[in-house]
A and B are shown apart, each in its own frame.
Chain A
Amino acid sequence: MNFKLHVWRQKNAAAKGRMEQYEARDINADMSFLEMLDVVNEDLVEKGIDPIHFDHDCREGICGACSLVINGLPHGGMTGTTCEVRMRLFKDGSTIYVEPFRAKAFPVIKDLTVDRTSIDRVMQAGGFVSTHTGAAIDANAILVPKDKAEEAMDAAACIGCGACVAACKNASGMLFVAAKVSQLALLPQGQAERERRVNKMVAMMDIEGFGNCTNYYECEAVCPKDISVKFIAKMNREYMRALVK
């Protein structure tokens, strides 16, 4: 397979970026999107051109490092993360546009690499149960009904990639924040800090420049882990609950 790529190149945070054109030749249909970029990069290096920088690590859809907006959609809008997207899903000979995740809270560092430490800071505000190492009671002393545990796991499956933010017109971080708030609100372990957590995480989300949710549901559509927007509704209820308490 052969492709024409239009890729966002930006030397550093301060520099002005632009789209550059590259050819991807002799691409195997079984390659992942990132393996295709690896091939392009090896070729660029051999020509003395700085390779395209992008974040990646596990290459199996779990670490959340890879990002990329492919043809206008985070992770290409396909099943899974960019590293899981296979080239067989693209039409041979087609043109592919590759850009970084774009959001106020995710400034570009270089090329397709963005700074997502804002996600960490929202977590620092309250995305935890305050329990010291060593203070825990026997695990079976906390009973969690199976359906609640499963629902909490559905929310906990978030990999923190930020695709929800990149897909949203408002660059809202609601799906990501809601996933963490819901996971801990559903579990008995999270009850003690239930109100404090949602208040603090939402406040930090605003400080970091994430937008608000206006129910476009683009986030759910691109989420590689199928986190449901029902958790956003749940977070809104949690937030209201915290307000009246």
Chain B
Amino acid sequence: MKLDSKVPSGPLEQKWQKHQFEMKLVNPANKRKYSAIVVGTGLAGASAAASLAELGYEVKAFCFQDSSRRAHSIGAQGGINAAKNYQNDGDSVYRLFYDTIKGGDFRSREANTYRLAEVSNNIIDQCAAQGVPFAREYGGTLANRSFGGAQVSRTFYARGQTGQQLLLGAYSALMRQVGLGKVTMYPRTEMQDVVLIDGHAKGIVVRNMVTGEISSHAADAVVLATGGYGRVFYLSTMGLGCNVTAAYRAYKKGALFANPCFTQIHPTCIPHTGDYQCKLTLMSESLRNDGRIWVPKTKDEQRAPGQIPENERDYYLERKYPSFGNLAPRDISSRSAKEACDEGRGVGPSRYGVYLDFSDAINRLGKDVIEERYGNLFEMYELINDENPYEVPMRIYPASHYTMGGLWVDYNLMSNIPGLHVIGEANFSDHGANRLGASALMQGLADGYFVLPYTIGDYFAREGAKNISTERPEFREAEEAVAMRIKKLLDVGGKQTPDSFHKRLGLIMWEKAGMARNEKDLKEALQEIPALREEFWNDVNVLGSADEMNMNVERAARVADFLEFAEIFCLDALDREESCGAHFREEHQTDEGEAVRNDKKYAYVAAWEHKGVGQKPELHKEDLQFESVQLATRSYK
């Protein structure tokens, strides 16, 4: 299979504009003849569904939550980047593009990343017009703050709830279209399979999570906006419903899965405290603007943080990366925390934690300023840990947070299956091997508001409206397969809960494919995962029946997919014999422990094709072409 990225020719700065002109249009009067299915209604899905409906297409939107307002985009706290240069500090579209592609360690597609930076300004305009209450200066203009991995202040925010406010903006646009009858909304409905007709994605099979009913929906195109797979680690900062199922089922139908091993481990989360936990809590990265990260210089330090004198503290990020200091990118910060803890210098009961200390900032700026900036985060921390961060340094530790990998898409955000579009975190294209802070919200909304609405029209115009019926045998077969699979889960009749398997899978992934990876561990994981999967299918206990609201069925079905998906994740990590961004292979580092990238051999997107469960998927490579940027060693020193 030849992967065609369909990147337009011409100078980087003109590609998108040129492409917009060259794409075919659907006549306004004909738009209502075309229909789109949007699966997932977070930032990307809600913005896409609303924008497509505004254009005049018939839209059906699906989410597993009870309302699209609850999608986990809501968890993003810190902000959204845009190249507005409102601060006059030298920002530009090109700088945002360059920071993003450098932050991704030169493993993203140049043209996609440039387009992302290009439309970033429209996003802020759009959201402001919707009434998103962004932070303002006294003069009424928008406020900015700085964020990890950048030296300009380009992050727009709404207190510590930026994701929530942007999602509610997109949700309100979506609700407006639902009210107008242009979008039909299906909440508490989970996609089970994508249906191909003559090689094109023309529908989906879903399960109603209240009644258990399996049904089919047909459309002219399918859009997956189903988020990331970070819960493959079991413990993550993601919502508990987040899963890989929709993307994985598409993969099993022939869509390629790209760079699955590129997963972000976020540096500022509340440390793990006990086995009962199923979710870790993220503390916004914006805290690193004023907090200083440190660990004791000596191992097994027993003193309370306040008792440790200044000269016995190691502000390791400031020491190792003097120009970026505590604002070093996420992958670097996370790995440094792990190293300090592995050396025995970690803090807190589990010794897997580092301090994030605000005492200097409080002395310099006053408690009021810190409270205004981070009040809600400090409150949340105290609620969870029973410690007051104004007095005692916070303890933080990295946790799985975002997945840069995802289904392979071309420049039009279409997968290798015609008609199947993938947007937001679910695709792979813009962040390379590491995502910078405040870029996820930007990408979700860029795809949904400003890219997909154009590119899907091109697909429609080329293919024509097909008006496909769900009576076709392809739908019947898919429905039967879905029902059979659920029956199979219910029939195992074993002893162990689905969650217990998920926990064990998570542990394998965290230990052997987490922040640092090596060949031996990955090969072990590749032995352990199929064994665990076999045990699952022999001994999982799924109570209840298929025709009711049944959390046992929902969880078991998702865990079953994670148990297959984890294998391609590890294969990808094993194949990539280099360290880049969040993917750190211990075999490939300098004497100082910095990542060694191998552009000669690995400047490609690894896109995996399904060949059967337990069979090795086939690797397809999309060579990354850099026309505008010079591949440099990423340095934040």
Judged by a CB distance under 8 angstroms, whether B592 is at the interface is no
Contact partner of A63 among B50, B74, B384, CB < 8 A? B74
Judged by a CB distance under 8 angstroms, whether A1 is at the interface is no
B125 adjacent to A57 (CB under 8 Å)? no
Judged by a CB distance under 8 angstroms, whether A16 is at the interface is no
A124 adjacent to B178 (CB under 8 Å)? yes
A125 adjacent to B136 (CB under 8 Å)? no
A11 adjacent to B548 (CB under 8 Å)? yes
Interface residues as binary, A214-225 with B (CB distance below 8 Å gives 1, 0 otherwise): 000000000000
B70 adjacent to A142 (CB under 8 Å)? no
List 8 A-B pairs, minimum CB-CB distance, nearest first.
A143-B140, A124-B179, A139-B128, A128-B172, A136-B129, A136-B125, A57-B239, A149-B136
Q: A35, A138, A140, A184: which has the most chain B beta carbons within 10 Å?
A: A140
Q: Within the assembled complex, what's the spacing in Å between the Cα atoms of A80 and B381?
A: 12
Q: Within the assembled complex, what's the spacing in Å between the Cα atoms of A48 and B210?
A: 21
CB distance from A22 to the nearest CB of B (A): 16
Judged by a CB distance under 8 angstroms, whether B434 is at the interface is no
A189 adjacent to B128 (CB under 8 Å)? yes
Judged by a CB distance under 8 angstroms, whether A62 is at the interface is yes
Q: A11, A45, A135: which has the most chain B beta carbons within 10 Å?
A: A45
Knowing A58-B239, A65-B65, A183-B131 touch, does A146 contact B179 (C-beta < 8 A)? Answer: no
Contact partner of B541 among A38, A45, A115, A128, CB < 8 A? A45
B161 adjacent to A62 (CB under 8 Å)? yes
Knowing A45-B552, A110-B549, A127-B172 touch, does A50 contact B51 (C-beta < 8 A)? Answer: no
Contact partner of A42 among B65, B139, B386, B497, CB < 8 A? B497
Instruction: Scan residues 267-319 of chain B and give those whose CB is less than 8 A from a CB of chain A.
Output: 273-274, 276-279, 281-282
Judged by a CB distance under 8 angstroms, whether B617 is at the interface is no
Knowing A60-B281, A143-B140 touch, does A152 contact B133 (C-beta < 8 A)? Answer: yes
Closest to B448 in A: A133
A120 adjacent to B185 (CB under 8 Å)? yes
Other contacts beyond A110-B210, A156-B132: 17, CB < 8 A: A35-B276, A42-B500, A45-B543, A50-B552, A55-B66, A62-B74, A65-B66, A79-B383, A110-B549, A120-B178, A123-B172, A129-B131, A133-B51, A139-B134, A149-B136, A184-B131, A187-B131
Q: Within the assembled complex, what's the spacing in Å between the Cα atoms of A149 and B86?
A: 18
Knowing A133-B453, A189-B128 touch, does A63 contact B276 (C-beta < 8 A)? Answer: no
Judged by a CB distance under 8 angstroms, whether A59 is at the interface is yes
Q: How large is the interface on B (under 10, 10 to 19, 20 to 34, 35 or more residues)?
A: 35 or more
Judged by a CB distance under 8 angstroms, whether B138 is at the interface is yes
Q: Within the assembled complex, what's the spacing in Å between the Cα atoms of A31 and B171?
A: 32
Instruction: Scan residues 208-245 of chain A and give those whose CB is less than 8 A from a CB of chain B.
Output: none
Q: Which residues of B contact A80 (CB under 8 A)?
A: 380, 383
Closest to B453 in A: A133
Judged by a CB distance under 8 angstroms, whether B164 is at the interface is yes
Contact partner of B543 among A51, A79, A115, A127, CB < 8 A? A51
A153 adjacent to B240 (CB under 8 Å)? no
A109 adjacent to B549 (CB under 8 Å)? yes
Judged by a CB distance under 8 angstroms, whether B405 is at the interface is no
Judged by a CB distance under 8 angstroms, whether B564 is at the interface is no
B125 adjacent to A156 (CB under 8 Å)? no
B65 adjacent to A50 (CB under 8 Å)? no
Contact partner of B140 among A28, A133, A146, A189, CB < 8 A? A146
Q: Which residues of B contact A160 (CB under 8 A)?
A: 67, 69
A133 adjacent to B47 (CB under 8 Å)? yes
B72 adjacent to A57 (CB under 8 Å)? yes
Judged by a CB distance under 8 angstroms, whether B32 is at the interface is no
Q: Which residues of A contact B541 (CB under 8 A)?
A: 45-46
A30 adjacent to B273 (CB under 8 Å)? yes
A interface residues (Cβ-Cβ under 8 A, vs B): 11-12, 28, 30-31, 35, 38-39, 42, 45-46, 48-51, 53, 55-65, 79-80, 84, 86, 88, 109-110, 113, 115-117, 119-120, 123-125, 127-140, 142-146, 149, 152-153, 156-157, 159-160, 183-184, 187, 189-190
Contact partner of A146 among B136, B210, B279, CB < 8 A? B136
Q: Within the assembled complex, what's the spacing in Å between the Cα atoms of A123 and B241?
A: 24
A136 adjacent to B179 (CB under 8 Å)? no
Interface residues as binary, B245-285 with A (CB distance below 8 Å gives 1, 0 otherwise): 00000000000000000000000000001101111011000
B380 adjacent to A149 (CB under 8 Å)? no
Knowing A59-B239, A156-B133, A190-B131 touch, does A136 contact B122 (C-beta < 8 A)? Answer: yes
Closest to A61 in B: B380
Q: Which residues of B contact A64 (CB under 8 A)?
A: 69-70
Knowing A57-B65, A133-B54 touch, does A109 contact B210 (C-beta < 8 A)? Answer: yes
Knowing A124-B178, A139-B84, A143-B140 touch, does A88 contact B386 (C-beta < 8 A)? Answer: yes
Knowing A35-B277, A63-B239, A127-B175 touch, does A139 contact B549 (C-beta < 8 A)? Answer: no
Q: Which residues of A contact B67 (CB under 8 A)?
A: 116-117, 119-120, 160
Interface residues as binary, B389-406 with A (CB distance below 8 Å gives 1, 0 otherwise): 000000000000000000
Q: Within the assembled complex, what's the spacing in Å between the Cα atoms of A84 and B382?
A: 11
Q: Within the assembled complex, what's the spacing in Å between the Cα atoms of A12 and B208?
A: 14
Closest to B551 in A: A53
Q: Which residues of A contact B139 (CB under 8 A)?
A: 143
CB distance from A53 to the nearest CB of B (A): 6
B278 adjacent to A84 (CB under 8 Å)? no
Q: Within the assembled complex, what's the spacing in Å between the Cα atoms of A30 and B51?
A: 44
B133 adjacent to A12 (CB under 8 Å)? no
B75 adjacent to A39 (CB under 8 Å)? no
Judged by a CB distance under 8 angstroms, whether B98 is at the interface is no
CB distance from B275 to the nearest CB of A (A): 9
Judged by a CB distance under 8 angstroms, whether B620 is at the interface is no
Q: Which residues of A contact B129 (CB under 8 A)?
A: 129, 131, 135-137, 139, 142, 189
Judged by a CB distance under 8 angstroms, whether B141 is at the interface is yes
Q: B75, B141, B175, B185: which has the most chain A beta carbons within 10 Å?
A: B175
A31 adjacent to B75 (CB under 8 Å)? no
B133 adjacent to A48 (CB under 8 Å)? no
A159 adjacent to B449 (CB under 8 Å)? no
Q: Within the assembled complex, what's the spacing in Å between the Cα atoms of A112 and B406?
A: 35
Instruction: Scan residues 476-529 of chain B and give those whose CB is less than 8 A from a CB of chain A.
Output: 495, 497, 499-500
Q: Within the assembled complex, what's the spacing in Å between the Cα atoms of A55 and B139?
A: 42
A139 adjacent to B124 (CB under 8 Å)? yes
Judged by a CB distance under 8 angstroms, whether B137 is at the interface is yes
CB distance from A57 to the nearest CB of B (A): 4
B165 adjacent to A120 (CB under 8 Å)? no
Interface residues as binary, B152-190 with A (CB distance below 8 Å gives 1, 0 otherwise): 000000110100110010011101101100000101000
